[in-house]
Structure 1
Amino acid sequence: MSLPTTVLVLPAPAQGHVNPIMILSQRLVQNGCNIIFVNTEFIHNKVITSMGNQEGSITGGSRVKLVSIPDGLGPDADRNNLKELFSSIMNNMPDKIAKLIEDVRLKDGVTVTCIVADFSMAWALEIASKIGIKGVMFYPSAASLLAMNCSIPRLIDDGIIDSNGLPITQKTFQLSPSFPPMDTNSIWWAKMFDSGSAKEVFNFVVHCMPNLELAEWWLCHTTTDLEPEALSYLPKLLPIGPLLRSYDDGEGVTDERSLGQFWEEDLSCINWLDQQPHASVIYLAFGSTTHFDNKQFMELALGLELTNRPFLWVVRPDSNCNNSMFEFKENQGKIVEWAPQQKVLSHPAIACFVSHCGWNSTIEGLSNGVPFLCWPYIVDQFFDKTYICDVLKVGLGFDSDENGLISREEIKDKVEKLLSDENIRSRAHVLKEKLLNNLKDGGTSSENLNKFVMWLKE
């Protein structure tokens, strides 16, 4: 009897990267694989804490073993400093990954046959190549952005960006004649808070690109319906989305909570949604990194009050805003620190999604047919917002006033405009059906995943 295929999975240390690759891991478990899921120690501790310290292991009940490796930074280091974080990771983690693979072979008798690495951790593909095992790259964002990454030399030659990756002038451009026009505002690495950080992120992307050639497969969290042009531009890229939580551990055991979250999910919000009328609730969630100053936070709260609609608002425990600053009308809204987002978005009470437009949130909203109100914060979220509003036409953006503030009146007006637009709602519903068809037997993403699993087990 052959042993199960064991795959080492390596996400980048961010919630938006851990989420989709964890769901992919659970799909692989459903197909008979064992997973060694490697987080940095800092992220691992967050995940374990959110689970109530119920750590899984291959030898225990779960076939996803959660392990950690130090990122090399001290406990009080600023892990939002991406240059420092990724420099430390690349100096400290490669040798430890190689040692981990050797240790599980010698101590546990488990042979890792493949590394699936996030694009941002593509250095791990060198390890796979050196020790003679399979290497796979997973891209957790829009395929269009990987197409942009692959086009960096041409963007420089065409005078779109300079050698530091910064736009030379404001203009539109096309990656190919069939590609939708893109604006220089879509250049995701340039959407940092300052040009110095943008250059660092750009240089990191350039550094990652050669390692992709070591990957035998490129997997992406998208679908052919969403990004046909990008997938034609990168024929090696295999869409396997939408990666949606099933709340099933892969062995028929249903779990109310999502594995891989950085904060504990507040399940009371589902009971609250059960009490609300159909398509009435504004859901607001801004991801794992967005921060508002108190003035904007207050304006958002007052805007919600003006709508006279029920709302569910995720305000993270690490938020720099105090949600006790105001009191809403009785029963108008519910505030939670972290939500089971897939469950929330699939709830019939949800009317719209006020989102930072991270790609996971984008995919989850689209897969549930929920119209968007877009409030991007950083990097790829600005591209995603443009795609939602201008290409897919299933959402609206907010306009800032002369002080850069999104006013309470603007919030009220955009909510009313979105929820009165039947065309947006209709397009969102049609797109939902297209996305979910990918997951059915014979669907493109389902077939792609089956091919990948067969290759893994060869």
Structure 2
Amino acid sequence: MEEGKISNSNPESSDKKNAIHMLLVSYPLQGHVTPFIKLAYLIAGRGVMVTFVITEFAHARLMAAEPDLDNERNKVRYVAVPDGLSEDDARNDEGKLFQSISKVMPGHLREVLEKVNMEGNQVTCIIADPMFGWALEIAETLKLKWAIFWTSAPGVLALILNIPKLIKDGIIDTKGSSKIDGKVQLSPDLPPLTSADFLWNYSGKQSGETNFQYFSGIQRNMKRCGWLLCNWFHELNPHFYNRSCICNGYKVGLALSPDEYGIVTRHEIRRKLDSLVADDGIRANALKLKEMALQSISEGGSSARNLDNFISQMKQ
């Protein structure tokens, strides 16, 4: 697909009866893109025009996996835009990728909006990744309705939303460093946390303080939004954090234990994989969760009702 070119994959693009036109824009990592695509098709399946903005690199990977992605029969149309990096740049450097996207994509998004609107199918709503505060600013400037789609775990969301309270209560400082020993209970419905559970302290190329400022920015973006869409369903209460959720709450996985050097070895991974495959209880729990998820998005399910309500609000 050419830069910024809109694929003709929405057969109803000329139908002026569409009351709303939603534009989705996702961070270009699989854990973000995949839920966004599923959301896009759920919305399009309700008769809403949907345009999905994605980077050229992520779009190429999608096309390699699903060659019919841009087929005219599809209800979602894709717009591929540059991420600002060269073909030789390593996109596994999330810090570099995020900085580049933040620099170039706001301009590309404005261009996409201009092109789409010139067709006569005015974009009326933007659904953005919480990392993209600039997308929300564009929506506000153009007086468009907008929402944030949270693709990660509910416990992580709870932690980020509580950043101001953690600072106010003296649990962490303004750089995200822990000021107390012991565990912190954010809510009766959530397992207690230690400082090691603060996601900005996870190892990586970025410093803990840099990561904390990044997550604080996400918290401010979500505080501004009128609608927060989440990638789970109501029946999963109470909410847990990632590892606690998988291993202790839903019992559909096993925790990986690092060695004395803090490294998770390939032998540990193999041992847990063998245990996982042989565990009938984990298999049964996974199938139960799958059934619950399918029920939630079926007609009359909790997620289906919430999505219908959201679309109804966007029409007003």
User: TM-score range with shorter-chain normalisation?
Assistant: 0.7 to 0.9
- The residue number in structure 2 matching 1:16 is 31
User: Over aligned residue pairs, what C-alpha RMSD do you find?
Assistant: 2.8
The Cα shift of 1:143 comes to 1.6
Q: 1:44 aligns with which of 28, 52, 59?
A: 59
Q: 1:135 to 1:170 in 2, by over 3 A?
A: same
Q: 1:27 aligns with which of 42, 53, 60?
A: 42
Q: 1:398 aligns with which of 256, 268, 284?
A: 256
- The residue number in structure 2 matching 1:292 is none
Q: 1:430 to 1:125 in 2, by over 3 A?
A: same
Q: 1:76 aligns with which of 74, 85, 88?
A: 88
- The residue number in structure 2 matching 1:63 is 75
TM-score by length of 2: 0.83
The Cα shift of 1:149 comes to 0.8
User: Given that residues 174 and 180 in structure 1 are in contact (C-alpha distance below 8 angstroms), is that contact kept between their aligned partners in structure 2?
Assistant: yes
Rounded Cα–Cα distance in structure 2 between residues aligned with 1:405 and 1:40: 32
1:129 aligns with 2:140: yes
Rounded Cα–Cα distance in structure 2 between residues aligned with 1:396 and 1:39: 33
Q: 1:103 to 1:120 in 2, by over 3 A?
A: same
Q: 1:28 to 1:151 in 2, by over 3 A?
A: same
- Alignment deviations for residues 203-261 of structure 1 (CA, whole Å, 9 cap, x no partner): 1222233333442210000122223358xxxxxxxxxxxxxxxxxxxxxxxxxxxxxxx
Q: 1:416 to 1:146 in 2, by over 3 A?
A: closer
The Cα shift of 1:64 comes to 1.4
| 3-state DSSP of counterpart to 2:90 | coil
Within-5 A mapping of 1:204-223? 204-223=214-233
1:387 aligns with 2:264: no
User: Given that residues 393 and 427 in structure 1 are in contact (C-alpha distance below 8 angstroms), is that contact kept between their aligned partners in structure 2?
Assistant: yes
Within-5 A mapping of 1:56-455? 56=70, 60-106=72-118, 108-168=119-179, 171-193=182-204, 196-228=206-238, 383-402=241-260, 404-406=263-265, 408=267, 411-412=270-271, 415-416=274-275, 419=278, 422=281, 424-455=282-313
Rounded Cα–Cα distance in structure 2 between residues aligned with 1:409 and 1:87: 35
- The residue number in structure 2 matching 1:282 is none
Rounded Cα–Cα distance in structure 2 between residues aligned with 1:428 and 1:42: 32
- Alignment deviations for residues 299-330 of structure 1 (CA, whole Å, 9 cap, x no partner): xxxxxxxxxxxxxxxxxxxxxxxxxxxxxxxx
Q: 1:84 to 1:401 in 2, by over 3 A?
A: closer
TM-score by length of 1: 0.59
User: Given that residues 254 and 272 in structure 2 are in contact (C-alpha distance below 8 angstroms), is that contact kept between their aligned partners in structure 1?
Assistant: no
Q: Which amino acid aligns with 1:119?
A: P
Any unmatched runs of 5+ in structure 2? 1-15
Q: 1:73 to 1:216 in 2, by over 3 A?
A: same
Rounded Cα–Cα distance in structure 1 between residues aligned with 2:166 and 2:202: 17
**Paired residue total:** 300
Rounded Cα–Cα distance in structure 2 between residues aligned with 1:78 and 1:407: 24
Rounded Cα–Cα distance in structure 1 between residues aligned with 2:135 and 2:269: 46
User: Given that residues 178 and 229 in structure 1 are in contact (C-alpha distance below 8 angstroms), is that contact kept between their aligned partners in structure 2?
Assistant: yes
- The residue number in structure 1 matching 2:10 is none
User: Given that residues 185 and 192 in structure 2 are in contact (C-alpha distance below 8 angstroms), is that contact kept between their aligned partners in structure 1?
Assistant: yes
User: Given that residues 154 and 239 in structure 2 are in contact (C-alpha distance below 8 angstroms), is that contact kept between their aligned partners in structure 1?
Assistant: no
The Cα shift of 1:4 comes to 5.3
The Cα shift of 1:444 comes to 1.1
| 3-state DSSP of counterpart to 1:435 | helix
- Alignment deviations for residues 364-415 of structure 1 (CA, whole Å, 9 cap, x no partner): xxxxxxxxxxxxxxxxxxx422221122233322334446354648844773
The Cα shift of 1:31 comes to 0.5
Rounded Cα–Cα distance in structure 2 between residues aligned with 1:150 and 1:159: 16
Q: 1:427 to 1:15 in 2, by over 3 A?
A: closer
Q: Which structure is higher in helix share?
A: 2
The Cα shift of 1:37 comes to 0.8
User: Given that residues 400 and 407 in structure 1 are in contact (C-alpha distance below 8 angstroms), is that contact kept between their aligned partners in structure 2?
Assistant: no
User: Given that residues 256 and 268 in structure 2 are in contact (C-alpha distance below 8 angstroms), is that contact kept between their aligned partners in structure 1?
Assistant: no
Rounded Cα–Cα distance in structure 1 between residues aligned with 2:238 and 2:302: 12
Q: Which amino acid aligns with 2:117?
A: R
Rounded Cα–Cα distance in structure 1 between residues aligned with 2:47 and 2:35: 19
- Alignment deviations for residues 100-137 of structure 1 (CA, whole Å, 9 cap, x no partner): 2122222x222111101011123211111110111010
Q: Which amino acid aligns with 2:292?
A: K
Q: Which amino acid aligns with 1:204?
A: Y
